[in-house]
């Protein structure tokens, strides 16, 4: 998407030096636009773990580029352990960074399968680069298509609103910053706005790391989409007062039965939506389905991050990023990164192939090749 009048993806190969991956370091947004250069798989693992890059789609694309850098490193040290051993080690290193977004292991496995087809190390490096680029291009294209399918839903709502704004509520950041481009939950919003439909977005701040107030608000502002930041606990109140026409969120891992793991707090918004008959949609590319799982509550690994993220807050002060202590130093804190919304609370899934219900029968109908 555009930043100012320049088009940006969230991650790309440095023009003129294919051994360097460049990415937007999201830790500094919205106050500073920082481009980071990554040259090793170790640096990419750090960028994922410490959330320089985050969001399921972008975590997958970053892991894809991470395996490419690992192939370059393996080619540079043929005397060390065999190339395939070095790549297996790199794969384990990347997979160990964050547990919930399935796109991470999906991208690493796809790279291992393709790289294995290489007869020599240079062929393996070339295959790794081609695969990393395919993962990124597909991610962007699938999000663009999610936008088109989601636009139809917003158009249906617009017909009932007689020109008044369609109020969409979203949680966390499932925008272009969480993918390579376009975003999942934001793609229908951008498509509707660009087609002239009056949309307004309620942006839940998304404590403790504020992906909503920092990243989603920044994205929407850059694109000129009207939006209002709210405290996370405000969503139910707005739904009770009919101020929300539609909820669209992303997902880090959705099961074959339609159970949806997403940023902590999503489940509470799904409950409020159900209680107030507000349509609750989840937008995802097929790379975010875990085709092996059915019971999300029992089977999806939920990331726990440091207590400090809850007890502190960070922000911009006198030209620099600072962290301030909010809670008493001695008080313990728990920091679950994600929760699971059962499929029964989800009105529908917006995918690159169209919209389906959040149940196995409907998902299989849209993805018959996954019906093993
Ligand atoms: O901890 P994050 O910022 O990686 O969490 C991101 C989310 O939960 C998004 O909603 C999710 O990834 C869906 S969009 C890819």
Pocket test for ligand 1, best of 146, 260, 262 (most atoms within 8 A of CB): 262
Q: Which of 245, 252, 290, 339 is catalytic?
A: 252
Spatial distance between the Cα atoms of 209 and 214, rounded to a whole number of angstroms: 9
**pLDDT one-digit tens code per residue, 316-351:** 999 999 999 999 999 999 999 999 999 999 999 999
56-76 and 83-95 helices, crossing angle to 10°: 150
Geometric angle at alpha carbon 149, from 145 and 154, rounded to 5°: 130
pLDDT of residue 2: 85
What's the predicted TM-score (pTM) here?
Answer: 0.98
Round to whole Å and give the CA distance between 247 and 264. 15
* pLDDT classification of 209: cutoffs 50, 70, 90: very high
Q: Are 214 and 227 contacting, i.e. CB atoms less than 8 angstroms apart?
A: no
What confidence tens digit (pLDDT) does each residue in 37-95 have? 999 999 999 999 999 999 999 999 999 999 999 999 999 986 666 889 999 999 999 99
pLDDT of residue 78: 67
Nearest CA residue ID for atom 8, ligand 1: 263
Tell me: the pLDDT tens digits for 289-325?
A: 999 999 999 999 999 999 999 999 999 999 999 999 9
Instruction: Give mean pLDDT, residues 178-195.
Output: 98
CA 195–ligand 1 middle distance (angstroms): 26
Q: Residue 30 gets which letter from DSSP? A: T
Return the pLDDT at 1.
Answer: 85
Q: Are 339 and 235 in contact (CB under 8 A)?
A: no
Residue 256 confidence (pLDDT): 97
Residue 372 has pLDDT above 70, yes or no: no
Asked if 90 and 70 count as a contact pair (C-beta separation under 8 A), the reply is yes
Contact between 229 and 205 (Cβ < 8 Å): yes
How many Cα neighbours within 13 Å face the side chain of 269? 36
């Amino acid at each position: 998407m555009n930043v100012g009048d320049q088009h940006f993806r969230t991650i790309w190969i440095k023009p003129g030096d294919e051994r360097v991956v460049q990415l937007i370091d999201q830790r500094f947004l919205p106050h500073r636009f920082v481009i980071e250069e990554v040259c090793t798989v170790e640096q990419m693992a750090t960028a994922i773990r410490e959330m320089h890059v985050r969001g399921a789609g972008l975590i997958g694309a970053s892991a894809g580029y991470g395996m490419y850098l690992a192939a370059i490193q393996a080619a540079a040290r043929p005397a060390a352990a065999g190339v395939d051993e070095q790549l297996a080690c790199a794969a384990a290193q990347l997979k160990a960074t964050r547990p919930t977004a399935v796109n991470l292991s999906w991208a690493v496995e796809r790279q291992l399968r393709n790289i294995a087809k290489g007869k020599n190390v240079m062929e393996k490096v070339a295959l790794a680069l081609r695969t990393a680029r395919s993962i990124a291009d597909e991610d962007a294209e699938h999000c663009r298509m999610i936008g088109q399918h989601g636009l139809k839903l917003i158009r249906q709502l617009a017909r009932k609103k007689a020109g008044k704004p369609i109020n969409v509520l979203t949680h966390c950041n499932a925008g272009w910053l969480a993918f390579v481009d376009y975003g999942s939950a934001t793609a229908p919003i951008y498509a509707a706005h660009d087609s002239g439909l009056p949309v307004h977005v309620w942006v839940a701040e998304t404590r403790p790391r504020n992906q909503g107030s920092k990243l989603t608000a920044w994205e929407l502002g850059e694109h000129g989409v009207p939006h209002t930041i709210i405290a996370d606990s405000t969503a139910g109140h707005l739904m009770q007062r009919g101020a929300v026409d539609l909820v669209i969120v992303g997902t880090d891992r959705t099961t074959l039965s339609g159970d949806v793991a997403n940023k902590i707090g999503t489940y509470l918004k799904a409950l409020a939506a159900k209680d107030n008959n507000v349509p609750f949609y989840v937008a995802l590319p097929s790379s975010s389905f875990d085709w092996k799982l059915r019971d999300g509550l029992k089977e999806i690994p939920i990331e726990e991050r440091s207590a400090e993220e809850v007890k502190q807050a960070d922000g911009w002060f006198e030209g620099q990023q600072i962290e301030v202590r909010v809670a008493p130093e001695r008080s313990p804190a728990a920091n679950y990164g994600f929760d699971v919304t059962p499929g029964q609370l989800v009105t529908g899934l917006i995918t690159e192939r169209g919209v389906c219900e959040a149940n196995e029968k409907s998902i299989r109908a849209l993805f018959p090749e996954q019906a093993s």
